[in-house]
Amino acid sequence: MPKQAAKYKINELRMNLAMPIERVAQYAVIGNPIAHSKSPIIHAAFAAQTSQMLEFERILAPLDGFSETVNQLISQGYVGANVTIPFKLEAFNLVDSLTERASDAGAVNTLIFNHNQIIGDNTDGVGFVHDITHNLNISFANKRVLLIGAGGAAEGVLHPILACSPSLLVITNRSLDKALNMVKKVKIQGDYHMVSVNAYAFDDLRHQQFDIVINATSTGLTDTLLPLPITIFAPKALAYDMMYGRDTPFMMQARSAGAQVADGLGMLVEQAAEAFYVWRGVRPNTQSIMQIVRAL
Ligand code: NDP
């Protein structure tokens, strides 16, 4: 666990941070692999749009060298970093303090280096919800939501979805015990007692239908079709795959069932915009950047 779990609310955190500095500020995204990351392009576009002076680069950390990499960046004067696969959990354990939403997610995708302290935040959940509610204009309120997957990405969006008051949230996962654990934690916390939260195995979804179906598994990477009943999509359902840059078997299956289909590119840009706001105190406009990134 982090040494001081301060659990900042995000506006308090912004007020505690130093104002943007005069010199060019250095940021990075740390991962392994990292060559594919679009974050430098997105943040360069945000910086140009908002006239912020910053540099943003990709850093490949050795699989056993995440904390050393972070310490090197701090000693070189970097002021923040994004964290991606496979280091989000390690980042959670490394930081000195956490925002509330990083604490809820159990993972960190945004680091702030402030006065020799490392603060950990998580912007994945807010980016995901913003993409669905603002960019796709679909509300979660009173909807039946199916969350497929119980890895870091699913954990990251769980609380933000519940905070939008769906009527039902079902979590399903190949390893059912992980989905059951997520439900158990939500029930123990007791913050969302108005939402019915359950976990089911893939097979047990045969007689259920959902208005929003989210694929938070990594099956898109391997072109694997999830063994889900095709009947899970309610009429006019949204099928959202967090994967981006390719049409996944999940997206193809959902389209053939008549669902509206979206990929995770909007989430990628929105989580970056939220990190940019945390670091710089300025909120970029994401619409034009989304078009640039999609055209890459
Ligand atoms: P994790 O490795 O933490 O979790 C992987 C999940 O996928 C687990 O639930 C795992 O199930 C499931 N899974 C893997 N292979 C299979 C399979 N063959 N059949 C069924 N289920 C499978 O990954 P993350 O949660 O970090 O990432 C998940 C996806 O979300 C990735 O594609 C990633 O790119 C994307 N993502 C997108 C973001 C964006 O901004 N658009 C941000 C973050 C993630 P089990 O538990 O049984 O192993």
pLDDT digits (tens), the chain, 296 positions: 555 556 777 777 766 675 555 679 999 999 999 999 999 999 999 999 999 999 999 999 999 999 999 999 999 999 999 999 999 999 999 999 999 999 999 999 999 999 889 999 999 999 999 999 999 999 999 999 999 999 989 999 999 999 999 999 999 999 999 999 999 999 998 888 889 999 999 999 999 999 999 999 999 989 999 999 999 999 999 999 999 989 999 999 999 999 999 999 999 999 999 999 999 999 999 999 999 999 88
- Report whether residue 39 contacts ligand 1, using a CB cutoff of 6 Å: no
The tokens 């303090």 sit on which residue? 97
Backbone angles phi, psi at 83, to 5 degrees: -125, 130
**List of residues 6+ apart from 164 with CB closer than 8 A:** 129, 133, 139, 140, 141
Minimal CA–CA distance to 266: which of 278, 258, 274?
A: 274
Output the CA 125–ligand 1 centroid distance in Å: 15
**CATH 3.40.50.720 in the chain, residues?**
126-263
Name the CATH topology of 126-263.
Rossmann fold (3.40.50)
Looking from the CA of residue 264, the nearest atom of ligand 1 is: 41
CATH pick for 7-122+269-295 out of 3.40.50.10860, 3.90.1150.10, 3.20.20.190, 3.30.499.10: 3.40.50.10860
- Report whether residue 125 contacts ligand 1, using a CB cutoff of 6 Å: no
Q: Where are the alpha helices (DSSP H) in the chain?
A: 10-16, 39-50, 66-75, 88-94, 100-105, 124-130, 152-162, 176-189, 249-256, 265-280, 287-295
What residue owns the CA closest to ligand 1's atom 9? Answer: 149
What residue owns the CA closest to ligand 1's atom 41? Answer: 264
Candidate list 9, 38, 88, 185, residue with the active-site label:
88
- Report whether residue 264 contacts ligand 1, using a CB cutoff of 6 Å: yes
**Strand 80-83 relative to strand 110-114, pairing:** antiparallel
pLDDT at residue 12 in the model: 73
**CATH 3.40.50.10860 in the chain, residues?**
7-122+269-295
Question: Active site includes 178?
Answer: no
Tell me how crowded residue 48 is: count the other CB atoms within 10 A of its CB: 11
pLDDT at residue 9 in the model: 77
Output the CA 28–ligand 1 centroid distance in Å: 23
Residue type, 216: A
Q: What is the pLDDT of residues 106-134, one digit of tens each?
A: 999 999 999 889 999 999 999 999 999 99
- Report whether residue 267 contacts ligand 1, using a CB cutoff of 6 Å: yes
